[in-house]
């Protein structure tokens, strides 16, 4: 008889979040597939568990996934963990679940820590409808397209971000959604220095320009109001300048006209167009 795949969440900072069911499931595994075996070994040694570990991560998921499916099909029980939080949520696992489903292998998800849901719950922003956006791409074009696709999004949006990219992401968010849009920045959740900053995008930019961001962040961004016109951003203004240039108007005149129409400063638009 085939075994099972268990998706087991692990603490995002607080070991107290290891539930009895999480511990029992780890204990019952024939083997554990881990994103980083060194990280998981520490957790297992905290629980005084000795289990065979294999690695399953972004760069070996194909070969490792096939091996895992074979072992489960032959009757073993596998527990999948990531470094922290829920496997398969911005973490390896999605492909393994698909492979198991295709092989008619039972998959069981254990409930537990997930940074996105913890942050949403504490944000103070509407939770009735939300969208999970994960990490924004580091590729400028993909990032811009992703953000533009969200401009009319009315649901609350959840983003993951690393501290060293936070400032540029906040600037891009302000350019896309305007400075008045509300945001909750949820930092170091469940840890000693947990902090929830409920502010606006301009407030967040001002705050982190003064105080360099540290730790892990989830950003919860308010959705657009149903009848709110999309704010005109600097990117829109640049697109207008480029359109006019494409129509044969000189760069200088195009910048002058768009600055007059939109209120963006001429020198700001001019240097942005030169950089674009
Ligand atoms: N699968 C994980 C989960 O369910 O929570 C998320 C993994 S993703 C690779 C890592 C991102 O989760 C971090 O960059 C950060 O955005 C967020 N994160 C993880 N732990 C966090 C914490 N303690 N506080 C705030 N954000 C956290």
CATH number of the domain that residue 42 is part of: 3.40.1010.10
Asked whether 46 and 68 are in contact (CB, 8 A), the reply is no
pLDDT of 23 reads: 98
Average model confidence (pLDDT) for the chain?
94
- Domain stops at, among 91, 113, 135: 113
Which residue has 């149903």 as its token pair? 226
pTM recorded for the entire structure:
0.86
How many domains is the chain built from? 3
Rounded to an integer, what distance in angstroms lies between the CA atom of residue 262 and that of residue 168?
Answer: 24
Whether 218 is in the pocket of ligand 1, judged by its Cβ within 6 Å, is yes
228 occurs within a structural domain = no
150 occurs within a structural domain = yes
- Same structural domain, 48 and 104: yes
- Same structural domain, 109 and 123: no
- Domain stops at, among 72, 93, 113: 113
In the three-class reduction of DSSP (H, G, I as helix; E, B as strand; rest coil), residue 254 is classed as: helix
237 contact partners, CB below 8 Å, separation of at least 6: 258, 262, 264, 269
Rounded to an integer, what distance in angstroms lies between the CA atom of residue 74 and that of residue 185?
Answer: 46
139 occurs within a structural domain = yes
- Same structural domain, 56 and 148: no
226 occurs within a structural domain = no
CA of 132 to the centre of ligand 1 (A): 13
CA of 99 to the centre of ligand 1 (A): 25
pLDDT digits (tens, 9 = 90+) for 151-195: 989 999 999 999 999 999 999 999 999 999 999 999 999 999 999
Indicate which atom in ligand 1 lies nearest the CA of residue 161: 16
- Same structural domain, 250 and 194: no
Nearest residue CA, atom 20 of ligand 1? 12
- Domain stops at, among 71, 93, 113: 113
196 occurs within a structural domain = yes
43 occurs within a structural domain = yes
- Same structural domain, 106 and 23: yes
pLDDT of 17 reads: 98
- Same structural domain, 11 and 90: yes
CA of 218 to the centre of ligand 1 (A): 7
- Same structural domain, 107 and 28: yes
What's the whole-number mean pLDDT along residues 252-257?
91
Rounded to an integer, what distance in angstroms lies between the CA atom of residue 150 and that of residue 127?
Answer: 17
Whether 93 is in the pocket of ligand 1, judged by its Cβ within 6 Å, is no
What's the whole-number mean pLDDT along residues 211-229?
91
- Same structural domain, 123 and 99: no
- Same structural domain, 13 and 52: yes
- CATH code assigned at 153: 3.30.950.10
- Same structural domain, 108 and 23: yes
CA of 87 to the centre of ligand 1 (A): 11
**In degrees rounded to 5, what are phi and psi of residue 198?**
-105, 115
CA of 185 to the centre of ligand 1 (A): 13
Q: What domain range includes position 170?
A: 116-221
177 occurs within a structural domain = yes
pLDDT of 230 reads: 67
9 occurs within a structural domain = yes
């Amino acid at each position: 008889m085939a075994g099972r795949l268990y998706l087991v969440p692990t603490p995002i900072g607080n070991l107290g979040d290891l539930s009895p069911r999480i511990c029992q499931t780890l204990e019952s595994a024939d083997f554990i597939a881990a994103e980083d075996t060194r990280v998981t070994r520490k957790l297992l040694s905290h629980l005084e568990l000795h289990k065979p570990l294999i690695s399953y991560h972004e760069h070996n998921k194909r070969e490792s996934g096939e091996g895992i499916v074979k072992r489960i099909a032959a009757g073993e029980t596998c527990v999948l963990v990531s470094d922290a939080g829920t496997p398969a949520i911005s973490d390896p696992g999605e492909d393994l679940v698909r492979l198991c489903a295709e092989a008619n292998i039972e998959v069981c998800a254990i409930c537990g820590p997930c940074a996105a849901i913890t942050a949403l719950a504490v944000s103070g922003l509407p939770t009735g409808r939300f969208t999970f956006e994960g990490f924004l791409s580091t590729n400028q074009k993909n990032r811009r397209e992703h953000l533009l696709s969200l401009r009319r999004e009315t649901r609350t949006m959840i983003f993951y971000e690393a501290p060293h990219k936070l400032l540029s992401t906040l600037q891009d968010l302000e350019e896309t959604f305007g400075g008045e849009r509300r945001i909750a920045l949820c930092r170091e959740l469940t840890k000693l220095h947990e902090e929830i900053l409920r502010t606006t995008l301009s407030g967040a930019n001002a705050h982190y320009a003064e105080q360099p961001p540290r730790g892990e962040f989830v950003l919860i961004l308010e959705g657009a109001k149903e009848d709110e016109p999309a704010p005109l951003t600097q990117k829109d203004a640049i697109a207008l300048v480029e359109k006019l240039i494409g129509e044969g108007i000189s760069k200088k005149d195009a910048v002058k006209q768009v600055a007059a129409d939109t209120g963006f400063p001429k020198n700001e638009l001019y240097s942005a167009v030169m950089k674009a």
